[in-house]
Structure 1
C-alpha cells in the first residue's frame, strides 16, 4: 500500500480481517434458493469449503481513460462491508496510481500522477452511493456472501435470479445470470453514477464473466468486462474496464 493515505491503509487492513469461525459449505445450505443460485453455488463452492467472506484479488487488464490503457491492481473485497481497489497505470507515458474505495459507510476515489499531481479525486454522497453499488455488483466474486444475511434472493426464470443486496443504507437489485451448467455469466443492475458526464442518476450497469479459474475451494470467472449502459445499444460506449483475475486469496 505504498503511496496511499494512512486512512486507506487502515481501511484495507480492517476489510482484510479473517472471517470468524466460518461454517463449511454443504448442499443443504442452498435449499429454498432459486434454481439458478443453487446451480451456481454448487458449481462455485466445493463441498466442505469454509464460507470465507473476504477475498484479496490480484488482476491485470485495460481501463478506458480516454483510450484503453493497461493496468495492474490489487483489491480487497468484503461485501457488504466494502472494498478498496488500488491500481497503477500510465497516462501520457507517466505513472498514475491511486484507489477507489467504499468502507466505513463512505466512498472515495483518489488518483495521482507521479503520486503527486492530482488527476481525479472525489468523495461525498454521490460517490458513496456509486461505490456502494459497485460492492453490490461484485458480491459474486465472494460466493459465500450469497448465503449470508446481506443478500435476499428473488426468482426470475431458469437462468436468472435477482439478489437484493444491502450495502450500508442502500438496497440494490442485482440480476444474476447463470448457465445451465452453473457457470456465472453476468450481473446487471441500476447503479448511481454520471457516465459520460451526465448528471448523477441511476443508469444500467453490468458485467460479463468469461472463462473460469479455481482458487482454493472457489471457482471464479477468469475475465470480467464491466461498464455502463449494460444491456442497451450504448454498451460498447459504456464499457470501461476489462480484467483477468490472476490470484484470489480468501480469508
Structure 2
C-alpha cells in the first residue's frame, strides 16, 4: 500500500466516521475509497464494514440509556432478528460473485441514497394513512437486517422510516434503537467476514483508526452544525458516488 492510498484511506475514514456519528451514510465514503485504492468491490464492502464497526459500537454504547421496545416487540427479539439477518446478509455477500456485485454496487448506492433522502418524509406521509402491525414490522426488520449485513448503506434511515409508521417512538428513541440494531447486524457480519471473508487488513486498519477519530469529531460537529446541513452533505456525496459508480459499471 503506497503513501497516496494510505492518505486517501485516512481521509475517507475520518469523513466516514464523522458522517456516521453526525448523520449516517459513512459507507457512501468508505466503500468507494476502498475501491479507489484497488480493492475488488466485494472485498471493499467487507473491509469497509469491518473498519466502521468500532465507531458504530461506540455510538450504540453512547445511546444505551435510550433504548426502548418497539410496539411491544422486545429488545431481545429485535436483537435476535438483527443478528440472524446480519449473518444471512454476510453469507449472501460472500456467495456473490465479483462480477455480479460490480453490477449491483451502483444500484445499492442508489437505494441507500434514496432511502437517506426520502425515508423520513415518506415515513411521515405514510403514517398519516397507514397503520401496520407487529408481523409486518418483524418481516421488514428481517429484510432490513439482511440488507445491513449485505451492504447497509442507508439502512438506519430505512429502519426509522418503517418504525415511523407505528408512531409510538420519538426520534431520540428511534435513533438509539437504530444504532443498536445496525451495530448488531454489523457485528455478526464482521465476525463472519473475519473468519471467511476477503478482508484486506492493512487497508482496513488504516481506515478503522481514522474512523474512530472521525466519529469523535463528527459528534462534536453534530452538536454545532444544523442537522439539515449535515443531511444535505450526505445526500450530495451519496448522489455523486452513485453517479460515479454507474459510470464505472456501465459507462
Structure with bigger RCO (C-alpha 8 Å, 6+ apart): 2
TM category (shorter chain) comes to under 0.3
TM-score by length of 1: 0.26
Larger helix fraction of residues: 2
